[in-house]
A and B are shown apart, each in its own frame.
Chain A
Amino acid sequence: MTAREAILQRLYQGREQQGGLDVPVSNFAVLERPHWNHADKRQRFEQAMRSVHTEIHSVSRDNWCTVLQQLATEKGLHNLWVSPDTCHGKELTQHWQLTQTPLLQHCPPLAEWKDELFNQVNAALTGCRGAIAETGSLILWPTTAEPRVISLVPPVHFVLLDGNQLYSTLHQAMHQQGWADTGMPTNALLISGPSKTADIEQTLAYGVHGPKELIVLVLE
C-alpha cells in the first residue's frame, strides 16, 4: 500500500467510525462592509497603507508620468525598470526625460539577468488589478510583461493603481473579479506595504528581503 492509500484509508475509516461530522453553516456576512462608499474606501485604503510606511500620491492620467519623474529625481534613483509591453510602460517611455535615471526595459528569462536584477536594478514600476481598502492591499497578478521578481527584487517598487478599482474587502475583491471562476494564475499576490520584519526584539524594520520602499500612484 502506498503512503497515499494508507493515509486516505485511515481518514475514510476515521470519519466512518464517527458516523460523519456535523458542520455548522459558514456565514460570510461578518466579512462584509456594505456601508462604505467610495470616499470611505479611499480613506481606509490610504490610512492602512500609510500605517505600514507606504507612500501614496494622487495622480491624473495626464500628470502621472511627470509625478513619477519628480519622485525618481527626489529619491536619486539610478534607474527604473518598466515593461515595454504594457500600456503604462509605453506611455511612460514616451514621456520619460530623465537622463540621470535611465529606463530599463529588457526582460529576458530570470536566469539570463539574475545578477543584474539583484545588483543593479534600483526601482521598478508595475500595474495592479486593484486594491483592498480594509487592509490596504494591492492585488497583483504578475504577467509575462511584468514578471514576479519585478515587484520583489528591486529596492523601490512603484505601483500604478486605478482609483476606481478599490474593493472593500478581500472577500469582495475575489468575488467581483471572479478569481475562483476564471482560474487562478501561476502566481497571485496581495502586497500591503514594503517588506518588513519585527524578528529582532519586536522592533519594526523595513526592507528586509523585498522592496524597502513601496510607492502607490493612484490614478483619479
Chain B
Amino acid sequence: MNPATDAVREFTPRARTALDNPAVRNNFRKAMDGLMDKRQAAFADWDLEALRELGAAVRLRALSRLPELLVQLEHNLQARGIQVHWAETGEQACQIVHDICQRRNARSVIKGKSMVSEEMDLNAFLARSGIEALESDLGEYIIQLAGEAPSHIIMPAIHKNTDEISELMHQQTGTRRSHDVDYLTASARSQLREKFMRADVGLSGVNFAIAATGTLCLVENEGNGRLTTTVPDCHIAVTGIEKVVENLEDIAPLLALLTRSATGQHITTYVNMISAPRQPDEKDGPEEVHLVLVDSGRSAIYQDRELLDTLRCIRCGACMNHCPVYTRIGGHAYGTTYPGPIGKILMPHLLGLESAHILPTASTLCGACEEVCPVKIPIPQLLQRLRTEAMDGDPQRPAHMDGHGSKRNWREMLLWHGWTLFNSRPWAYRLGTALAARFRRWTPARLGTWTRYRSAPRPAPQSLQQQLRQCRHKES
C-alpha cells in the first residue's frame, strides 16, 4: 500500500479536522468566493454555452482518435528532434526522468508547475538518488518549503494566508517577517534566480500537446515555466496521455476556457509553445527536449464510454472553486494529488476503488461542478457511476474497474435482500408494517451516523395500508 492510498483512508478524520479549523475554512472561503466572481466576470461577453460545447467537442474529438493522435504527436515531435518516452506507471515515468538526469550527470532539476509530476511523486524519487528537484512556481515553492502537498491544482498554496507564508519564508530562507506581498515575491525571485541559472535540467508539465504540428503548449503567469523550458540545457516535459489535441486551432477555444475558468483571466501572461530543441543556428533553448507520456491508469478509463468523459478534463480547477464540499474542507483533506470533484472521479482510477471508494461519496451531488465545467464533464453522473462500481458485486456483470465491488458487504446486501422480499410479497409487507407499528416504542433512539445530526425516525401507529382499509370500511 502506498502513502497516497493510506492518505485517502484518513479522509473522514482529515475532513473533520479541517472543518474544525476556522483559519483553513476562512482561507478557502475567501479564495473560492473571489475565484467564482472573477470567472463569471471573465465570461460576461461570451456565449458561454456555445464555447463549452466547442470545448467539449474538441476534447471528445481528440479522445476519439487518441491512439492515432499519440502516434502522430510522437512522429512530429521526433521529426523535429524532441525525444518521446512512454510510461505505463508513475514509477516508470520517474525512472525515465531519473535515467535522463543520470545520463547527463544532472544533480539539480528546476521545475515548472506539473501536477503529473506530483502524481508520480517525482521529487521524492529523484531525492533518493541525490538529485535535487526544486519547485519554481511561487505557490509550489512555498509549499515545498513547508514540506506540504498542493491543496489546489491551480493555486497550490491557497490554504495559507500571508501571515503564514511570511513566517514560513522567514524561518526557511531568512527573509524578514512582512505582510508586503511585493517584498515576499521579490525575495522568492532573487532566491530562485541563481537556481534557474545553475539548474542542469528543467522539468515542466504540458497543458496541451498538439499532434498535427508536434507542439507542446504551456500556460503560466510567472515566467518560471519559460525559464524552466529555456535556460537549462535539457528540458523534460511530463504529461498524461489524454492531453493531446488534434490541430493547432483546437487550442484557441481550450485556452479561452482554461484561463477564464481557472482564475478569471482572459489569458495567462505567457502561452509558451515549444516544437523543437535548440537548432544549430539558435543561441538559446535546451539542446535536448524530452516528452514523457504517462498512462498511469488513463488507458483503463478509456475502456468505458461513460467513464471516458473523465479524460476530457483540462485541469482548470473550476469544479473545486465551486464545490461546497471542497470549499469547506480544503484540498488536503482528500489526501490525493487531485482534490475536489475532478479528484473524486479521477483518483479512484489512479488508486483503485478499493482504497479510494470513499471519494465519490464525499459529494452532495449538487451539480455545481458540472454546471461550470468548461468541457461539460457530467461529474455528478460519474460520481454515481463510481458509487455503483464500488458496491456492485453482481457476478453477471463484468468488472469495469480496479476495485469493482470492493465496498460491497454482506450486511448491507442482506438488508437489501430483506427489503426486496418485504416489498415484493404482500403478506411480508403487511406483517412487517404491523409489527413495526406494534413495537414502535422500541425503535432504537440511536441509528449510527444517521442520528448524529438527526432524530431517529419512528414508525406511525398505523401503516398507510391500515388507514386506507379503515377508511374504506367506514365508507362501505
Contact = CB atoms under 8 A, between A and B. Distances in A.
B117 interface: no
A13 B304 CA distance: 11
A109 B284 CA distance: 6
B275 A152 contact: no
B19 interface: no
Contacts of A144: 281-283
Contacts of A137: 267, 271
Contact of A209 (B197, B213, B227): B227
A87 interface: no
A18 B304 CA distance: 7
Contacts of B186: 207
B429 interface: no
Contacts of B390: none
A2 B86 contact: yes
A186 B47 contact: no
B226 A201 contact: no
A34 interface: no
A122 interface: no
Contact of B230 (A25, A28, A149, A192): A149
A49 to B, nearest CB: 11
A31 to B, nearest CB: 6
Contact of B302 (A11, A110, A184, A187): A11
A208 B224 contact: yes
A184 B275 contact: yes
Contacts of A6: 88
B269 A195 contact: yes
Contact of A148 (B136, B184, B226): B226
Interface in A151-175: 152-153, 169-171, 174-175
B362 interface: no
A2 B84 CA distance: 13
Nearest to B158: A202
A205 interface: yes
Interface stretch (B251-259, B415-423, B465-473): B251-259
Contact of B300 (A10, A152, A183, A194): A10
A149 B231 contact: yes
Interface in B228-281: 230-231, 233, 241, 247-250, 252-253, 255-256, 263, 266-279, 281
Contact of A3 (B87, B161, B189, B214): B87
B184 A210 contact: no
> Residue among B161, B192, B274, B282 with the most chain A CB within 10 A?
B282
Contacts of A211: 223
Interface in B176-229: 181-182, 184-186, 188-189, 192-193, 196-197, 212-215, 221-224, 226-227
B299 interface: yes
A186 B82 CA distance: 11
Interface stretch (B60-68, B340-348, B446-454): B60-68
A41 to B, nearest CB: 14
A23 to B, nearest CB: 5
Given A2-B86, A12-B67, A7 B241 contact: yes
5 contacts: A7-B88, A180-B213, A189-B272, A201-B31, A208-B189
Interface of A: 2-4, 6-8, 10-15, 17-18, 20-21, 23-31, 48, 52, 107-111, 114-115, 118, 134-137, 144, 147-149, 152-153, 169-171, 174-175, 179-180, 183-203, 205, 207-211
Given A7-B88, A30-B54, 16 more contacts: A7-B299, A11-B67, A109-B284, A115-B197, A135-B266, A135-B267, A170-B252, A174-B249, A184-B275, A185-B275, A188-B275, A189-B272, A197-B138, A199-B138, A200-B181, A201-B165
Counting from the closest, the 9 A-B pairs by CB-CB distance are A210-B223, A199-B139, A21-B64, A209-B223, A135-B267, A10-B299, A190-B271, A195-B223, A171-B252
